[in-house]
């Protein structure tokens, strides 16, 4: 019988830190596709590359896996409002789950630096939105301060309930493949998701489902790459606004994950990110927001620098949907606007413009 996916809490109840009887606030998150990216495997000389397409979540990003846990537990504790700092996706997710729960949401976003699609989601779900005169790191300090001193419950990934929910991404990869990949590659901002996947894989190993842990490879944008430079960055900058973060909240967890998995951190330029963003759309059929292409761009960079990926099975989490930050698809490689041609209703003329000759 066909199985209707019930969201990560119901699907993985026994493996999550949540009590029986806790309310479950869900929008049906998780159960996302693992897409065979042959074109990318060919490009980097790997045996298999799969994309874990997290844009297929209810609000279009991986945040929903953690938000169902964070908001459910907040409601279980009697919270009437949640708060988060966000580069966009967390705010969209928090606002949607708060709406479903019937509680209020407050989101703090860096002024002028979030994609329009994400802002419209937060507005649509009736969040109270504050554009803060500062960057994401400033917003997070402010959110923590407010949550500590006022009756608003923090749902950023410094809240362990978020990481707990997001670890289910690794469970799904293992279930679908039947083994752990050699490498798991992700874009990194606060490094919450990087740490969450590692937690998931570790639990799979402890349960005896997999034998080895994948190496965790995390990539940041060059202008916003504290893990590569080895210390927080004061003025992070990149077109990949989702990961425009200079002081990652999960610094220590991420370092442990890197070391224990034999993984690495790296950085790629905005140009490399946009190139991969286009490649994934054009050659794999998966439309992601630019930030989400950062992991794949990092893998290609490693290959170009001489990394031998022959025989490797690789999973890359692509974190958010392309429709959230769609303006980048409407520009060519040189930054020129792409506009569809205008044609008459005459079939012969349209065929000629398309370069088609009659059958
Ligand atoms: N990709 C996307 C699309 C994101 O929105 C984020 C983070 C990341 C990757 C990085 O994940 O922080 O767990 O390392 N977005 C947060 C937000 C910061 O506010 O939406 P991370």
Each of the 359 residues of the chain gets a pLDDT tens digit; together they read: 778 999 999 999 999 999 999 999 999 999 999 999 999 999 999 999 999 999 999 999 999 999 999 999 999 999 999 999 999 999 999 999 999 999 999 999 999 999 999 999 999 999 999 999 999 999 999 999 999 999 999 999 999 999 999 999 999 999 999 999 999 999 999 999 999 999 999 999 999 999 999 999 999 999 999 999 999 999 999 999 999 999 999 999 999 999 999 999 999 999 999 999 999 999 999 999 999 999 999 999 999 999 999 999 999 999 999 999 999 999 888 889 998 999 999 999 999 999 999 99
- State residue 332's pLDDT score: 86
Does the Cβ of 241 fall within 6 Å of ligand 1?
Answer: no
Q: In 10 A of CB 221, how many CB atoms?
A: 29
Neighbouring-strand partners of residue 187: 219
Measured in whole angstroms, the distance separating CA 27 from the mean position of its chain's CA atoms is 17
Binding site membership of 194 for ligand 1 (Cβ less than 6 Å): yes
C-alpha of residue 97 to centroid of ligand 1, in Å? 17
Per-residue confidence (pLDDT) for residue 335, from 0 to 100: 83
Residue 50, strand partner residues: 36, 315
Nearest CA to ligand 1 atom 15: 242
pLDDT of 277 reads 97
- Note whether 201 and 213 are within 8 A (CB): yes
pLDDT recorded at residue 224: 98
Helix (H, G, I), strand (E, B) or coil at 56: helix
3 state DSSP class of 100 = helix
| Cα Rg of the chain, angstroms | 21
Residue 18 near residue 68 (C-beta atoms within 8 A)? no
Measured distance CA(73)–CA(161) in Å, rounded: 8
How far is it, in rounded angstroms, from Cα 211 to Cα 179?
Answer: 8
Determine the pLDDT at residue 178.
97
pLDDT of res. 333: 81
CA distance 37 to 298: 16
Cα(242) to centroid(ligand 1), Å: 5
User: CB neighbours of 165 closer than 8 A, spacing ≥ 6?
Assistant: 8, 9, 16, 65, 66, 67, 68, 69, 70, 196
Atom of ligand 1 nearest to the CA of 87: 19
Residue 180 vs residues 141, 184, 188: alpha-carbon distances, Å: 36, 9, 20
pLDDT attached to residue 318: 98
- Give the Å distance between the CA of 193 and the centre of ligand 1: 8
Q: What is the pLDDT of residue 65?
A: 98
d(CA 286, CA 295): 14
If one residue of 108, 189, 291 were mutated to test the ligand 1 pocket, choosing by the most ligand atoms within 8 A of its CB, it would be 189
């Amino acid at each position: 019988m066909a199985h209707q996916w019930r969201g990560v809490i119901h699907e993985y109840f026994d493996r999550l830190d949540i009590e029986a009887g806790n309310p479950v606030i869900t929008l049906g998150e998780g159960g996302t596709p693992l897409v065979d990216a042959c074109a990318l495997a060919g490009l980097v000389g790997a045996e298999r590359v799969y994309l874990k397409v997290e844009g297929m979540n209810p609000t279009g990003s991986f945040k929903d896996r953690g938000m169902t846990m964070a908001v459910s537990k907040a409601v279980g504790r009697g919270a009437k409002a949640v708060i988060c700092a966000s580069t966009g996706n967390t705010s969209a997710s928090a606002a949607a789950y708060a709406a479903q729960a019937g509680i209020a949401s407050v989101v703090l976003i860096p002024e002028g630096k979030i994609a329009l699609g994400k802002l419209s989601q937060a507005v649509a779900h009736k969040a109270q939105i504050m554009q803060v005169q500062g960057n994401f790191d400033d917003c997070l300090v402010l959110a923590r301060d407010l949550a500590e001193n006022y009756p608003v419950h923090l749902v950023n990934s410094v809240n362990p309930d978020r990481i707990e929910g997001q670890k289910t991404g690794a469970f799904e990869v293992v279930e679908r493949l039947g083994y752990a990949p050699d490498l798991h590659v992700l874009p990194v901002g606060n490094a919450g998701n990087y740490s969450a996947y590692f937690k998931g894989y570790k639990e799979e190993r402890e349960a005896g489902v997999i034998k080895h842990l994948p190496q965790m490879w995390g990539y940041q944008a060059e202008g916003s790459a504290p893990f590569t430079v080895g210390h927080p960055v004061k003025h992070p900058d990149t077109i990949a606004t989702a990961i425009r973060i200079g002081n990652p909240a999960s610094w220590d967890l991420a370092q442990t994950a890197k070391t224990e998995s034999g993984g690495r951190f790296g950085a790629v330029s905005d140009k490399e990110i946009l190139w991969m963003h286009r490649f994934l759309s054009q050659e794999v059929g998966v439309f992601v927001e630019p930030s989400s292409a950062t992991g794949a761009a990092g893998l290609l960079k490693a290959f170009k620098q001489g990394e031998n990926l022959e025989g490797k099975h690789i999973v890359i989490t692509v974190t958010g949907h392309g429709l959230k930050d769609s303006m980048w698809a409407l520009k060519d490689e040189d930054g020129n606007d792409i506009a569809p041609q205008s044609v008459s209703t005459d079939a012969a003329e349209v065929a000629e413009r398309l370069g088609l000759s009659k059958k």
